[in-house]
Amino acid sequence: MTTRAVLITGASAGIGKCFAEFYATKGYDLILTARRLDRLNDIASELSASHGIKCETITADLADPAAPKAIWADITARGLQVDVLVNNAGYGLNDHFVDYDWADHRDFIQIMVTAYAHLCRLALPAMLERKYGRIINVASLAGIAPGTLGNTMYGASKAFLIKMSESLSLETEGTGVHVTAVNPGFTRSEFHSTAGVQDTVDKMPSWMWMQAPDVVAETYDASEKGLAQIIPGRANRITASILRHFPPRLALSLSRRRSAMQDK
């Protein structure tokens, strides 16, 4: 039986790296992409040696609209196929909307929305033809929660991924292809320090946090079961359930108060 391969974007750190480690333990070959080729190569060497799997690395900046197609062309040129796509690359713009130039927002949308959709479109035809495939889109509990003061585009981008994944899950039902959005809450990884909000998130109570390997394991199980959406962690599921039943005005009011408290 041919070994299956997984393509992971944003694989050089955080949840993306945990996905790489997890799939390596399952015997999958890896195709890892991110901007930092040195980090990718280090991870690839470590996982190949530890698990006896093949690991390819591709450097790419998904802010470039041509990047998804270039990644796919590189994969094709190497004679590889993608059985699992993990769309994970991401970051945040934490200040207010007008504090950033439009170019910053344009790049954010390209990475967090357009590249995800483009890679799905590139992956799906061959998956449908083979009657097997898994697509995991890393969204967030922020896609369910009300808007925030600052980080204006983040929740909006994650809400898009949730809805897109739900629709693709319906479109691929019964084909052997599963599309799943994962909505993590606060997760221990490099994301918050890279985004410059570590001091803020350190004020959050410990019960709100999950470890990245636990998020990845729950996501894998949900993907294999063909679930369109997964919220890892009991506390996060309770939070999401409460948020869905809040009147919109009250939810925004609470979000305003929470944002003000975090700024103190």
153-192 pLDDT, tens digit each: 999 999 999 999 999 999 999 999 999 999 997 766 655 4
pLDDT, the chain, mean:
88
The CATH number linked to 86 is 3.40.50.720
- Number of domains, the chain: 1
Decide which of 23 and 256 is more confident.
23
Residue 228: pLDDT band (50, 70, 90) is: very high
**What pLDDT shows up at residue 146?**
79
| Number of neighbouring beta carbons within 10 Å of residue 194 | 13
Residue 238: pLDDT band (50, 70, 90) is: confident
pLDDT tens digits for 107-149? 999 999 999 999 999 999 999 999 999 999 999 998 988 777 8
- Is 29 in a helix, a strand, or coil? strand
**What pLDDT shows up at residue 200?**
52
CB 168 within 8 A of CB 179: yes
Round to whole Å and give the CA distance between 79 and 76. 5
Round to whole Å and give the CA distance between 152 and 40. 30
Among 35, 45, 46, CA closest to 9 = 35
Residue 245: which H helix or E strand, with range? helix 234-245
* Active site residues per annotation: 154
User: Position 152: which residue type?
Assistant: T
Which range has the worst mean pLDDT, 103-107, 148-152, 153-157, 215-219?
148-152
Round to whole Å and give the CA distance between 242 and 253. 15
Residue 237: pLDDT band (50, 70, 90) is: confident
**What pLDDT shows up at residue 8?**
98
Round to whole Å and give the CA distance between 37 and 218. 28
Range of the domain at 223: 5-263
> Is 263's pLDDT higher than 50?
no
